[in-house]
């Protein structure tokens, strides 16, 4: 009892330091507290539907379960058709109103396909549960709903301008991206603010003002085949494997000090004959130790913080690839990928407003995640279009993308409160100024 009393006094002191909640804000907070068990029940129902990206029926079922929840709040909501890009489609919900236009981003799919041993919601330690995609990001989807329900209960939602896009292919995007991300990009062009409810680094005390983009690359190398006794002779040269080694080593020595850049070769094959099954992520080779290698292939990815950095690094890699060893040739191709969400003053200001709301709730300060500690996400497709963006507003948790994935159920409550206050203030006070 003494600890509880001290905690209550601390919350009260914090609230007084940063102002008090308005009547509508308090109503929203009270709604979230009163309906926490309802949120947990809906989360359990969602987690128990397998929605691995390639389980199209499961992804659709997950979205269809949520559609009536949005419709009950006055949204026009539907599942789009993803057949043109080889995926299930997305949930899109819209309502018109006044004030800043706010885009809320989630995703329906998980990394756990129907053949995974990890299929169901299970309570674990007190206040926690495990389940496929519980934190990444079915918990975030429920936080979006609880936030909107709370604003509705406070009489605030009716006049707000909001779109919700929950993609069906965040974990493995359909191609081309121009089609698979079309609804998200269109919503971003409409919006002033984008709020992503991914789980960031799993810690609710942090949020993303930036995310590194990610794209794949394929390096193809050719050499002159011959008996190994002739390697390095003028008419034979170095062979494909020496050349691919030169290129990778030079990537390492010339690019590894580039700030917030990573470039990872994930697969390599070389020899007399090679084959590459791209969709299966498999490669095979045939070669002999007494034969100079004719072919080599490497696939990898790049993660960078800005478009400028991406373009600069791509050109450096092309230059390195072009400086071939004798009697070899090489080429590098870059795949389309997720763009970066570069850090901006506007994004930092939005985080500041979110953190102020958190402090008023007695939930502590929220700081920016180091971009090295979070992967690419759908919010990045909004970066070119919105005035400001913030991500990582989703559920606290651990061990994402593994069969040990857990979610902190208490964060359904705390994250929805933070988001509700942020959206309320954006609606009533407008976008924060980035002037110093």
Place of tokens 């580039």: 258
Looking at residue 364, its pLDDT comes to: 97
Distance CA 145, CA 292 (A): 61
Looking at residue 376, its pLDDT comes to: 86
Query: What pLDDT, in 10s, does the model give residues 372-386?
Result: 887 789 999 999 999
pTM: 0.88
Rounded percentage of the chain residues whose pLDDT exceeds 90: 91
Contacts of 321 (CB under 8 A, 6+ apart): 219, 247, 330, 331, 332
DSSP 348: H
- State how far Cα 331 lies from the chain centre: 30
φ and ψ at 429, to 5 degrees?
-105, -10
> What angle is formed at CA 89 by the lines to CA 148 and CA 278, rounded to 5 degrees?
130
Q: Which long-range contacts (CB under 8 A, 24 or more apart) does 37-40 make?
A: 39/142, 39/145, 39/146, 39/412, 39/413, 39/416, 40/409, 40/412
Q: How many CB atoms lie within 10 A of CB 275?
A: 12
Asked whether residue 15 carries a pLDDT value surpassing 80, the answer given is no
Query: What pLDDT, in 10s, does the model give residues 365-419?
Result: 999 999 888 778 999 999 999 999 999 999 999 999 999 999 999 999 999 999 9
Structure tokens at 370: 């180091």
Query: What pLDDT, in 10s, does the model give residues 235-258?
Result: 999 999 999 999 999 999 999 999
Domains 14-211+341-429 and 213-334 share a fold: no
Looking at residue 372, its pLDDT comes to: 86
Question: What value does the mean pLDDT of the chain take?
Answer: 94
Query: What pLDDT, in 10s, does the model give residues 82-111?
Result: 999 999 999 999 999 999 999 999 999 999
Looking at residue 390, its pLDDT comes to: 98
Domain range annotation of the chain: 14-211+341-429, 213-334
Q: How many CB atoms lie within 10 A of CB 231?
A: 17
Asked whether residue 5 carries a pLDDT value surpassing 60, the answer given is no
Query: What pLDDT, in 10s, does the model give residues 302-338?
Result: 999 999 999 999 999 999 999 999 999 999 999 999 9
Q: How many CB atoms lie within 10 A of CB 413?
A: 19
Instruction: Please answer whether residues 174 and 86 qualify as being in contact, where contact means their C-beta atoms are separated by less than 8 angstroms.
Output: yes
User: Is 213-334 a CATH 2.40.110.10 domain?
Assistant: no
Determine which helix (DSSP H) or strand (DSSP E) holds 92, and give its type and residue range.
strand 91-95
Instruction: Please answer whether residues 77 and 92 qualify as being in contact, where contact means their C-beta atoms are separated by less than 8 angstroms.
Output: yes
Question: What class, spelled out in words, does domain 14-211+341-429 have in CATH?
Answer: alpha beta
Rg, C-alpha atoms of the chain: 25
């Amino acid at each position: 009892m003494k600890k509880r009393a001290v905690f209550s006094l601390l919350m009260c002191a914090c609230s007084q330091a940063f102002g008090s909640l308005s009547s509508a804000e308090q109503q929203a907070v009270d709604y979230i507290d009163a309906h926490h068990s309802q949120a947990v029940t809906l989360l359990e129902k969602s987690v128990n539907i397998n929605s691995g990206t390639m389980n199209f029926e499961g992804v659709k079922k997950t979205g269809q379960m949520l559609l009536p929840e949005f419709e009950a709040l006055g949204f026009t909501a539907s599942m789009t058709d993803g057949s043109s890009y080889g995926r299930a489609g997305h949930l899109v919900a819209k309502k018109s109103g006044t004030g800043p236009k706010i885009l809320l981003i989630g995703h329906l799919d998980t990394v756990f396909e129907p053949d995974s041993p990890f299929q169901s919601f299970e309570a674990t330690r007190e206040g926690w549960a495990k389940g496929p995609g519980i934190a990444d990001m079915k918990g975030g989807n429920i936080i979006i709903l609880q936030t909107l329900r709370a604003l509705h209960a406070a009489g605030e939602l009716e006049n707000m301008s909001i779109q919700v896009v929950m993609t069906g292919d965040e974990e493995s995007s359909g191609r081309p991206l121009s089609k698979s991300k079309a609804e998200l990009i269109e919503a971003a062009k409409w919006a002033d603010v984008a709020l992503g409810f991914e789980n960031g680094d799993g810690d609710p005390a942090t949020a993303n003002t930036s995310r590194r983009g990610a794209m794949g690359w394929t390096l193809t190398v050719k050499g002159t085949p011959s008996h190994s006794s002739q390697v390095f002779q003028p008419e034979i040269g170095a062979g494909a494997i020496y050349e691919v080694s030169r290129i990778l080593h030079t990537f390492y020595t010339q690019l590894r000090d580039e700030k917030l850049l990573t470039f990872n070769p994930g697969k390599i094959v070389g020899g007399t004959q090679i084959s590459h099954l791209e969709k299966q992520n498999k490669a095979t080779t045939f070669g002999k130790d007494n034969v100079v290698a004719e072919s080599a292939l490497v696939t990898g990815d790049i993660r960078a913080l800005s478009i400028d950095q991406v373009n600069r690094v791509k050109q450096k890699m092309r230059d390195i690839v072009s400086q071939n060893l004798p009697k070899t040739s090489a080429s590098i191709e870059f795949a389309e990928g997720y763009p970066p969400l570069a850090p901006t003053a506007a994004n930092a200001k939005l985080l500041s407003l979110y953190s102020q709301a958190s402090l008023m709730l007695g939930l502590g300060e929220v700081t920016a995640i180091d971009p090295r500690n979070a992967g690419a996400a759908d919010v990045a497709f909004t970066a070119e279009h919105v005035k400001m963006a913030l991500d990582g507003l989703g559920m606290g948790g651990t061990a994402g993308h593994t069969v040990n994935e857990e979610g902190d159920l208490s964060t359904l409550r705390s994250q929805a409160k933070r988001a509700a206050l942020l959206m309320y203030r954006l609606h009533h006070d407008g976008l924060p100024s980035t002037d110093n």
